[in-house]
Amino acid sequence: MIKPHGADQLKPLFVYDEARREALLEEAHSLPSIVISSAAAANAVMLGGGYFTPLEGYMNLADSMSVAQSLQTTDGLFWPVPIVNIVDDVSAIEGASRIALRDPNVEGNPVLAIMDVDAIEPVSPEQLKGMAEQIFATADPKHPGVATFTALGGYMLSGPIEVLNFSYFQTDFPDTFRTAVEIRNEIKERGWDKVVAFQTRNPMHRAHEELCRMAMEDLGTDGILIHMLLGKLKPGDIPADVRDASIRKMVEVYFEPNTVMVTGYGFDMLYAGPREAVLHAIFRQNCGCSHLIVGRDHAGVGDYYGAFDAQTIFDERVPEGALEIDIYNADHTAYSRKLNKVVMMKDAPDHGKDDFVLLSGTKVREMLGKGIAPPVEFSRPEVARILMDYYQIVDGKQ
């Protein structure tokens, strides 16, 4: 199986030894503590699960600025996005060398991790804005990732952590949330060698389904990892439980047994386009996948990125040998009325716009909200039913 990024073995920071974990939870009662941001909590969950191998904790300011500028830490590790813990008030932990990090997303703010404090560094609004512009390719405060990142606070906490739980992800999504450790183990158990990963934060329509099938066939893989984001999204995005149900139904009805793993990971969406695509590649390599599908406007939002910027970054800014995972470049896929099947639009140069079944997101939502199923060429009826039920509830509350 493919090696993890920057290491021979996966490095999950979750404390698997039960006695050690209980001792740390007991110790946490006597430690200074701080409630961290949702973004930092999601980073802790990803570190805990081995997704961010070989990192051992949160980056300091020098590493964060180096990653933002040059996609590598100060010691040369290739990495696309700063993994940070930024807070707005450090009065409760000033002078502490060891602290408890409390979860903002679970009632009562339980301890999520224990951190050895290497540094507490002030970070200025100008530094945050500068890093944001490099990470997101814009400083526009309307960009959801920029807005979140620049509002995190004025102090950066860095140092190694030991993770004590997986926040709400394990309890809210027990059948779907999986660590990189668990995914690697399941790939081995299934006897798979070549595995392609499909990233999604949305329900999967017919075109997504067929794209997965195309990638599996073109690459000759043993299976596909459908890997959905379970964390925070921008307003208007479909909740994780609804996406989970619709994707599972599609796989159950339309894919051959033992060809698909439906799983999810505990991370808040960055909407960082090309940079986030590279991060997706790193943690899918850590999951044991040999390939990642990178499609049109991968991890994008609005009009901030070119349609294929998330593909070209792998050629332009990823040094040769920096990653072992390979990228499967995908064009926009749609149902062809001429060919009576889903195709990549680049593979149908003789087609005009009217030869494809194309629906805007707004149009699809409008139809679903009225209880009208999109055409079967666009969405499987079983998937459409789940989405119709959701949108009729949402629209009924508005």
CATH, residue 329: 3.40.50.620
0.85 surpassed by pTM? yes
Q: Annotated catalytic, 243?
A: no
Catalytic residue selected from 98, 202, 317, 329? 202
Catalytic residue selected from 102, 178, 201, 275? 201
Domain boundary among 136, 170, 204: 170
Instruction: Answer whether residue 2 is part of any domain.
Output: no
- On whether both 203 and 166 belong to a single domain, the answer is no
Structural domain total, the chain: 2
- On whether both 187 and 258 belong to a single domain, the answer is yes
Instruction: Answer whether residue 3 is part of any domain.
Output: no
Instruction: Answer whether residue 1 is part of any domain.
Output: no
- On whether both 104 and 62 belong to a single domain, the answer is yes
pLDDT at 320: 95
Q: What is the mean pLDDT of each run of 10 residues along the chain (398 residues)?
A: 96 98 98 98 98 98 98 98 98 97 98 98 98 98 97 98 98 96 98 97 92 97 98 88 95 96 97 98 98 95 95 97 97 91 91 88 84 92 94 70
Domain boundary among 170, 194, 222: 170
Domain that holds residue 318: 174-397
Is the link from the previous residue into 54 a cis peptide, with omega within 30 of 0? yes
- On whether both 131 and 34 belong to a single domain, the answer is yes
pLDDT at 392: 85
Q: Annotated catalytic, 201?
A: yes
